[in-house]
A and B are shown apart, each in its own frame.
Chain A
């Protein structure tokens, strides 16, 4: 595919010093923590946004914060770009390296350090997976709320980098609302701590700044997160509709009437078929659109909320209503939904959009999305967090066909612009990465972007941390 998204030109001075750099890194790290052979580097050339690929100079897998600090200090001293990597599940290319970069992977830092049920916090290393946190406290009746669909694999460090969301964030908020503190290594090797176990810390809310900074302000090595008590009960209910538009307007009406279920997820027919093929969750296959609405609380609470939701759904012509009858069935419903992107691999390659729109625009944007994609001669599957308007059209294409790939990318750009023009934004939870970098000017004015870039430069004046991401390559301040 002719690449439309550019990367920074590799620094020749860094490439020329390759052997020296690798020898120096070997001195900074224990055995088994450095990958420098060509064969071993290739698998790190991309993440889950796999249309773009760059083989890095080396990969380091440190085991301690001190080792991360030593590597960053070294790289800042010699002007070597650094790309942080958690589990490499980014859908926006956040972990894609470049030829002159050192990938700092946190996958060996996967220990849970402290569980404090009294204060309802957990302190974990950055490479701990999102789901591991919930599993570690599940027997005690707690969980960690933000639940990206990739929660099985994605790391808390990556979640902080992208300020990740998930199906249940409608009620509990996204990562930034559940993050209490971090230990972070600055590019010069300084280790700082932000926040702590309390809900708020004095001084500037630098924690808020770090959350969602896509690895450009430093590398988080430890995080303290909030734990939440599990509800008394939870029940996902399936609502089938004869059209996507009807389902979309039903969502807007539910939220508009002041009801906040834990989750409202949307799937259109292609997505239903894909997910059912993998999970056998019992999704209705005879409807055009499906909402998974989850309510939680005591039985009477759930009943009351469901009653109001069903009444609204009836007004929008709901065709089928199916309540999960067992914990197993509920688990399958979520398994299907959370595996949707991966399961799409059964039918085609895809790129996944992440635009967010005001709920009043949901039906319109859905309809226009379909028109845009078919205008490019491609197909689309929609599966997304409808309750907060966070859309994920999956544009299906053939990655082995360069023309198809170019069309998919163009369709994606049109859809994201549509979201912004409808009063929404480019990314709800996947981050800008490289994917949406050049659209940032469609979202922000020059002055807005300059201010963000000034903040970034205050942390990393050389612009070497995850350098090709987030901000358009043109118009950056001189490093």
Chain B
């Protein structure tokens, strides 16, 4: 695509990168077809090609973001389905990242949006605060209907609706070294994360049990925390980079002490971001190399397990609908490993139709864009239920929370099923 930037504009490395990305786009339109918001809304402005055009126009003219542009960029799920579809290799991910930062820096959102975003950014990435907020939500839930009728408070009504009814007991994996059993096969660090240990602490428990049982030592490093994805997708770049630098320091220390084969991540949304640390910090001379090192070590749990060659188990007579999280299939391009692991562990695996479409969770999207999110959830649940599964498996806590709120079929993290198959306890949901 033709671009029109001045040499002065291109002196900014962020603009220079976006220009390179835009030059790849040939406007073929393939991306529109697999974009969930275009499929639902039928407006090119809510498709990757439309957004690319809006971003290009905004950046070329060096203009502050305007409400029209912001509306359509905000509606982007960052599911990255377009990245999988694009034949020309347009790096939409980093283009929209740049646009979000530009919006955050040049656009003043209406008061209610600023309030909602500030609360999200100050709560979700911090497990103690998030846990407290969810407890409070339990008490406030009867107010949800009322809040949703007041425009200023609508977001909070939606948040109350999304808060789970019961919160698992607080028992996040504690910082420690979990020793391997049997023949030692490796040593990994585990990201415990932020929202996941609050909403689904069993996931990290299952991961530690499964890995140590397979001879892998697991390090939960003290001080690690949110990977930064939540604020990164809100354009709050400095906050995101701080989170990244903190985790990088902690993991590299662990790697220097006793070596690390991988940094294992059990939420694919986080995996996509940690694998991008190298890019996010490329302009930071003190961190560029370290970040690249961490990104190279980052592995989704299923990606790591695939390398362990787990033994084949007998059939369990249980049908699993595998829902591939967008961050798994589009962000990290991990498509076959989770299904193969489940099959090998004795489960019958079904793949729902329209598997490339997002469930509408997308980080904080279900809070900030509830209408579109609800449409995508209904569509996703319909496709999953059509496969008549006993249980749904997926690799991302966001999808688990979102899909669980729309179906009675139990939904688990893939690793919980694998842990069970390889000697762990039967998940309570089954």
Q: Which residues of A are interface residues toward B (Cβ below 8 A)?
A: 32, 35, 37, 39-40, 42-44, 46-48, 50-51, 61, 87-89, 105, 107-110, 127, 129, 131, 150, 152-154, 278, 339-346, 349-350, 399-400
Instruction: Given A43-B53, A48-B26, A89-B29, decide whether A107 and B44 contact each other with a Cβ distance below 8 A.
Output: yes
A39 touches B68 (CB 8 A): yes
B29 partner, pick from A35, A48, A399, beta carbons under 8 A? A48
A241 to B218, CA, bound (A): 54
- Quick check: is B89 within 8 A (CB to CB) of the other chain? yes
B54 touches A39 (CB 8 A): yes
Task: Give the total of B residues in contact with A, Cβ under 8 Å.
Answer: 36
Q: Which A residues lie within 8 Å of B27 (CB)?
A: 46-48, 50
A39 partner, pick from B33, B57, B86, beta carbons under 8 A? B57
Point out which of A40, A48, A108, A278 has the most chain B C-beta atoms below 10 A from its C-beta: A40
- Quick check: is B284 within 8 A (CB to CB) of the other chain? no
Q: Which A residues lie within 8 Å of B1 (CB)?
A: 50, 349, 399
A278 to B85, CA, bound (A): 10
- Quick check: is B45 within 8 A (CB to CB) of the other chain? yes
Q: Which A residues lie within 8 Å of B28 (CB)?
A: 48, 89, 150, 153, 341-342, 345
Instruction: Given A39-B66, A345-B28, decide whether A107 and B43 contact each other with a Cβ distance below 8 A.
Output: yes
- Quick check: is B36 within 8 A (CB to CB) of the other chain? no
B89 touches A339 (CB 8 A): no
Q: Which A residues lie within 8 Å of B24 (CB)?
A: 345-346
A37 to B87, CA, bound (A): 31
- 5 extra A-B contacts, CB within 8 A, seeds A87-B32, A342-B28: A35-B45, A51-B2, A153-B29, A341-B26, A346-B89
A346 to B49, CA, bound (A): 16
B28-50: which residues lie under 8 A (CB-CB) from chain A?
28-34, 38, 41-45, 49-50
- Quick check: is B405 within 8 A (CB to CB) of the other chain? no
Instruction: Given A42-B54, A129-B33, decide whether A345 and B25 contact each other with a Cβ distance below 8 A.
Output: yes
A61 touches B42 (CB 8 A): yes
Q: How many A-B contacts if CB must be within 8 Å?
A: 114
A278 touches B53 (CB 8 A): no
B101-139: which residues lie under 8 A (CB-CB) from chain A?
none
If over half of B's interface residues share one DSSP class (helix, strand or loop), that class is named, otherwise mixed; here it is helix
Q: Which A residues lie within 8 Å of B87 (CB)?
A: 278, 339-343, 345-346
Instruction: Given A40-B45, A108-B42, A342-B88, decide whether A152 and B30 contact each other with a Cβ distance below 8 A.
Output: yes
A44 touches B86 (CB 8 A): no
- Quick check: is B3 within 8 A (CB to CB) of the other chain? yes
Digit string of B5-27 for contact with A (CB within 8 Å is 1, else 0)? Answer: 00000000000000000011111
B29 touches A88 (CB 8 A): yes
Instruction: Given A39-B66, A399-B1, decide whether A88 and B44 contact each other with a Cβ distance below 8 A.
Output: yes
Q: Which B residues lie within 8 Å of A46 (CB)?
A: 27
- Quick check: is B90 within 8 A (CB to CB) of the other chain? yes
Q: Which A residues lie within 8 Å of B49 (CB)?
A: 43, 88
B26 touches A342 (CB 8 A): yes
Task: List the 7 closest pairs (A to B, CB-CB), nearest first.
Answer: A345-B88, A342-B87, A108-B42, A339-B87, A43-B53, A345-B26, A153-B33
A388 to B87, CA, bound (A): 25
- Quick check: is B401 within 8 A (CB to CB) of the other chain? no
A342 touches B53 (CB 8 A): no
Q: Which A residues lie within 8 Å of B369 (CB)?
A: none
- Quick check: is B319 within 8 A (CB to CB) of the other chain? no
A152 to B87, CA, bound (A): 12
Q: Which A residues lie within 8 Å of B88 (CB)?
A: 342-346
Q: Which B residues lie within 8 Å of A107 (CB)?
A: 38, 42-44
- Quick check: is B383 within 8 A (CB to CB) of the other chain? no
Point out which of B30, B54, B85, B87 has the most chain A C-beta atoms below 10 A from its C-beta: B87
Question: Can you list 6 A-B contacts (CB < 8 A)?
Answer: A43-B53, A46-B27, A47-B29, A129-B33, A131-B33, A154-B29
A152 to B42, CA, bound (A): 15
Q: Which A residues lie within 8 Å of B89 (CB)?
A: 278, 343, 345-346
